[in-house]
Amino acid sequence: MRVSSRVPARAATAAAIVVLLAVAIVPLARGGHEVAVYPSYYPHEIEIATVAPAAAATLLRDGKLHAYIGQPPDGAPDAIRPGDAIRSAESLGSFVIIRVKAASANPPDHPSACAVAASVIANLDRGQLVVHPYPVTPWHGDYLYHADLADAAKGRYLAAGAAGAADTAGTAGAAGTAGTSAPVKVRAVGEVARQAVPPDWITDGPDWDAEVSEVGAGDLVASAMLAMNGSLGPEWLRTGWFQAELLLRDTGDADERAHEERQRADEAFRRLTSRDYDNLVARVNLERELVTALTAGCRKVVAGYTVKREYYNAEFSAGIENIASDALTGLHSPMFIRTVKLKDFPWNGWLKLGIDATPAAAWNPIGGMNDQFGRLMWFALGDPALLPSPYEAGFMLNRIADVRQNEGRR
């Protein structure tokens, strides 16, 4: 397998020398027919090219790209008709975060802070946004452990927002006078936020009540990812409770109650990461306790999430098939690289991928390969021992499974 990304010529020369030495050392072997079953459909050349989103849709339709990893191509899905051979893989796109502006006289659980958060959530446009005011989403493998807490949080915020959106907006308005009907002043950061927040609520000035922004799910995972010793990071990297800790650990609150909740969250996090629990039930209770402590205040709230769609060409026979994608990072995953099959060839072949980021990091597994391009290259070259599991929040063994032999009845 060769990964093509305009590697310097001296690297190619060195590789050729290694191949020649290997041929010279290994004795000549003769054989008959080919092996009938191949271990994988791994392409022998993978080309990763930086492609602007504006050009990606055309390249996909023309068969010059097999898949585009990153933001959807400009015009998609309008530019890609349902009848075309273009398909999409869905994954968690981003978390939408509300940060209520701190007021020195109000604690984090003061009604004004919670009212502002509830009012903003109740008035968000649900075009791209899935309203889900809880950090563990249905895209996380451990969501079932938190489903009741997530439903309760959604009902609580939406009921509060519907009951008094106008009054609560006035309570935390710029004048801070209860009973006014002025809308909440929101600083919207990013395209998703500006589309979700009511236009007459948005302000670009320094006088604002709440800030709505988004955090990419893939970026959040990558921030804790470390490709070392055949692993991609800590075993809890892809769990909802761990990502809730990454999202909400810094709320900026300094009052006594917030300090107590932070201590409670820290203790639960310590026990989870040091395996200081007796059984599965105790572990799940710690996970729930951690997220409950992280979501106790209203200064920083997860309002919901977006769904990302990444496109690939499934045309016969120039496209690809057997697509596996990660629920949190989409096609930017070793799961995709390890399973994708070219339709043109029963094995091997040339896989052409487009990516929306220019290479910026050093190409070494210790201090580099930590940008989007570098991580994708390392997924192909590093051959990690553990891959993200498609059915849970953990990892699975690459190529080998610990399966007990069925001895049958005795």
What are the pLDDT digits (tens) for 200-237?
A: 899 888 888 899 999 999 889 888 887 666 678 888 99
Is the confidence at residue 92, as pLDDT, over 90? Answer: yes
Higher pLDDT, 316 or 279: 279
> For the chain, how many residues are written?
410
Q: Is 61 within 8 Å of 75 (Cβ atoms)?
A: no
Give the ranges where 225-342 is alpha helix by DSSP (H).
Answer: 240-248, 256-273, 280-294, 334-339
Query: For residue 189, what pLDDT is reported?
Result: 93
Query: For residue 334, what pLDDT is reported?
Result: 87
Q: Which of 37, 76, 68, 59 is nearest to 323 (CA)?
A: 68
Q: Is 327 within 8 Å of 307 (Cβ atoms)?
A: no
**319/312 Cα distance (integer angstroms):** 8
The pLDDT confidence band at residue 259, using thresholds 50, 70 and 90, is confident
For the ranges 29-33, 256-260, 398-402, the lowest mean pLDDT is seen at 29-33
Query: For residue 400, what pLDDT is reported?
Result: 63
Is the confidence at residue 173, as pLDDT, over 80? Answer: no
Neighbours of 163 (CB within 10 A): 12
Query: For residue 16, what pLDDT is reported?
Result: 40
The pair of structure tokens assigned to 9 is 């010529």
Neighbours of 229 (CB within 10 A): 8
Beta bridge mates, 308? 91
Average pLDDT, the chain: 79
Beta bridge mates, 367? none
Neighbours of 12 (CB within 10 A): 11
The pLDDT confidence band at residue 13, using thresholds 50, 70 and 90, is very low
For the ranges 103-117, 138-152, 219-233, the lowest mean pLDDT is seen at 103-117
Is the confidence at residue 15, as pLDDT, over 60? Answer: no
Query: For residue 21, what pLDDT is reported?
Result: 40
Q: Is 233 within 8 Å of 246 (Cβ atoms)?
A: no
Is the confidence at residue 94, as pLDDT, over 90? Answer: yes
